[in-house]
Amino acid sequence: MPHIILGGAEWYANLGTPKNGGTRMFCLSGHLNKPGVYELPMGYNLKKMIYEVGGGIPNGRSLKAVVPGGSSTPILLPEEIDISMDFDSVAKAGSMLGSGGVVVLDDTTCIVKFALRTIKFYQHESCGWCIPCREGTDWLKKTLTRFHAGAGVKKDIDNIYYLAENMLGKHSVRWETQRRCPPWRSSRSSEKNLRTIWKASRARLRRRQSRYWRRKICNL
């Protein structure tokens, strides 16, 4: 505050972009060498934020995805992070700046598990007023739970997208519903990854079933 008073409103506004002036507090978390809360100019480059301010990803791992503005915002893929962190630029990239909570996910992250953990929170916190949110978050949680347990089917992927599209506020009287679905919609760009995970989950299920029957036979 003293810097703003001493420098003046125009000086402070010029620290950011023309339409998004000043600075903002960004919370960098997830797979980073230097997580923390940083005050940075509006419009600061997201890639620089991760690799310079945040110190990059530990152990030389590669980047899988970034949540740019809190858990209710669509994720960005590695090829989409060379953008300015202001409201207009992030919206143009297909996400939202939101609360400025940047979550970095490395290549060891299971996107299905990440999505499940997030939807559990929103399903629990839903006020239950709107049917798309109340029913949609519950079905997403059930579907992702089954999917992550290795019992998913290919149709689950399309159902997840269908549910997310119908939760976008088109049939809801509350804007809050729109906040529940962006991460699942943005995952559509990772459909190949999801289908790979589906195949792996089916393989895990087959291994579990094999172990189960081996134990049953041995106990006969």
What DSSP line would sit under 152-218, residue for residue? Answer: --HHHHHHHHHHHHHTSSTT-S-THHHHHSHHHHHGGGGHHHHHHHHHHHHHHHHHHHHHHHHHHHH
Predicted local distance difference test score (pLDDT) of residue 169: 55
The model's pLDDT over 83-125, given as tens digits with 9 standing for 90+, comes to 999 999 999 998 899 999 999 999 999 888 898 899 899 888 8
Residue 220 has pLDDT above 50, yes or no: no
For residue 164 the two structure tokens come to 């997310």
Please report where in the chains the tokens 């998004």 appear, as a residue: 20
- The confidence band for 177, taking pLDDT boundaries of 50, 70 and 90, is very low
Greater confidence (197 vs 73) lies with 73
How far apart are the C-alpha atoms of 20 and 83, rounded to whole Å?
14
The length of the chain, given as a count of residues:
220
Q: What percent of the chain has pLDDT over 70?
A: 76
70: left (phi over 0), alpha (psi -120 to 50) or beta: left
Question: By mean pLDDT, which of 54-63, 121-130, 174-183, 190-199 is the weakest?
Answer: 174-183
> Which residues on neighbouring strands pair with residue 29, listed in sequence order?
103
Q: Name all domains of the chain by residue range, CATH numbers in brackets.
A: 2-106 (3.10.20.600), 111-216 (1.20.1440.230)
- The mean per-residue pLDDT over the stretch 38-57 comes to 96
Q: How confident is the model at residue 195 (pLDDT cuts 50, 70, 90)?
A: low
Mean pLDDT of 124-145: 86
Mutual orientation of helices 131-146 and 154-166 as an angle, nearest 10°? Answer: 160
108: tokens are: 């060891």
Please say whether the beta carbons of 101 and 70 come within 8 A.
yes
pLDDT (mean) for 151-179? 68
Residue 50 has pLDDT above 60, yes or no: yes
